[in-house]
Amino acid sequence: MKLDSSSAKNEVIKLTQELVRIKSVNPPGDELPAAELLAQRLKKYGLETEVVEVGKNRANVVAVLKGREERPALMFNGHLDVVPIGERETWQRDPFSGDIVENKIWGRGASDMKGGIAAMSVAAGLLATRGGLKGDLYVTAFAGEESDSIGAKHYVEHNSLEGIGSIIIPESTSLDIVVAEKGTLWLEFETYGKSAHSTQPHIGINAVEHMLTLLQMVKSAWEAIPYVPDRYLSPPTMNIATINGGIKTNSIPDRCVATVDLRPVPNQSHDLILSRMGEVIEEVKRKVPNFRAEMRVINERQPVATDEREEIVKVAKELGSSIVGRDLGLFGVNFYTDAAIFAIKRKIPTIILGPGEYDLKNNIYLGHQPNEYVKIENLEKATMLYLAIAERMLKLT
């Protein structure tokens, strides 16, 4: 199937609708049918395409348009899973209909990010008809981004990422450019005490009280860790998220577990934060008799900080202003994407740029809500912008 610019317009709409109609809701994911549909299309467009199973009914799509390897490769990377719909009554129409209403495609995942996947895939299809690439173009769509990043982790375990010069992730940005993501550290603290009847606190050790002391000190230590304010991100944050301890009211609790969500900015080293938190446990031990605690890292994501002087940022901004028809802004986001998984292996200049809805200027994010949609106009612009960026970065002329 040879795409041209007029058939591409219909194709990007059709492919978005077809992907939205496949329920790849995470949990559990079930991305395999969506992966198969996408792989079929990419093959038709002329890309070498593979479906890589990463779990039961879960799969990645990995496709490539080969170039002469005279230039670093460019990768488009999306995710095939979507978040649950929530309460059905909050939706004005069937969340998996893919209906077109008022020039928008409706449905769960239209914006985050099946519209983006369709746009990057059709752009690759258009590039395939032009030939003469100096570098490879990779098109990848992974499973599990909305939870444990099972697909991205599988990919970085089995691929070196050597030769990839830049990455575009078509998450919703209303076609603006995201160049920074905060890091993430989820810590679990556990304190151990000794149970006794509640009327005899002198013979017990209260694990909940010890946890309260520990968390106070963790909080002050976190607030004292120095950082340089990031141009694109809000200051670092800490959320004491869960706390569980004790079994009954008339017993001294012998165990307490709490989890804490830290979001450092890119110039704060995770290793440094972790060693500071380890020291805090030692400090409490010196202050509080019988104090015993452990700390575990239960989730870690590397930050993303792409220098605005990188070619991918400059090219996207320059081509964006003519194709989108306005100056594209540069922003940061406080959450993580699969860019954080790539960053474990190699720091590759990455931008997040997609057709879905996210008003970054006012920080109004429409993803993960009912009545999700993507504007057809933005889908078309994204397709043409991805094509132009890939042509500029990979093509002979």
Say if CB 63 and CB 47 are below 8 A apart.
yes
Tell me how far apart the alpha carbons of residues 114 and 37 are, in angstroms, rounded to a whole number.
Answer: 12
Stretch that binds Zn ion, among 107-115, 213-221, 271-279, 285-293 (CB under 5 A): 107-115
Tell me the C-alpha to C-alpha distance, in Å, between residue 260 and each of 176, 216, 351: 31, 12, 28
Give the strand pairing for 330-333 and 177-181: parallel
Q: How far is the CB of 378 from Zn ion (least distance, A)?
A: 15
Judged by CB, which is closer to Zn ion: 266, or 354? 354
In angstroms, the CA 139 to CA 118 distance is: 11
Q: Which of 112, 176, 190, 357 binds Zn ion (CB under 5 A)?
A: 112
Instruction: Report if residue 113 touches Zn ion, rule: CB under 5 A.
Output: yes
Residue identified by tokens 């080969």 is: 66
The structure tokens listed for 172 are 């919703």
By CB under 5 A, residue 31 contacts Zn ion: no
Q: Which is nearer to Zn ion, 112 or 230 (CB)?
A: 112
In the complex with Zn ion, which residue's Cβ is closer, 106 or 358? Answer: 358
Tokens of 287: 């202050």
From 169-177, 211-219, 309-317, 339-347, give the range in contact with Zn ion by CB under 5 A.
169-177
Answer whether 198's CB lies under 8 Å from 315's CB.
no
Least separation in angstroms between residue 113's CB and Zn ion is 5
Angle formed by the axes of helices 5-21 and 376-394, nearest 10°: 120
341: contact with Zn ion by CB under 5 A: no
As measured in angstroms, the least distance from the Cβ of 353 to Zn ion is: 13
DSSP 3-state assignment of 190? strand
- Helix (H) or strand (E) segment spanning residue 284: helix 270-287
Site string for Zn ion, 246-285 (x = CB under 5 A): ----------------------------------------
CB atoms within 10 A of CB 376: 19
Whichever of 83 and 221 has its CB closer to Zn ion, that residue is 83
Residue nearest to Zn ion (CB): 112
Nearer to Zn ion, 171 or 380 (CB): 171
Nearer to Zn ion, 190 or 338 (CB): 338
Distance of CA 359 to the CA centre of its chain: 17
The interaxial angle of helices 376-394 and 115-128, nearest 10 deg, is 40
Query: Hey, what are 174's tokens?
Result: 């209303």
# of chain residues touching Zn ion (CB under 5 A): 3
Provide the mask over 344-373, with x wherever binding to Zn ion is found by CB under 5 A and - wherever it is not.
Answer: ------------------------------
Residue 333 near Zn ion by CB under 5 A: no
Cβ of residue 180: shortest distance to Zn ion, in angstroms?
Answer: 17
Is residue 119 within the footprint of Zn ion (CB under 5 A)?
Answer: no
> Residues interacting with Zn ion, by CB under 5 A?
112-113, 171
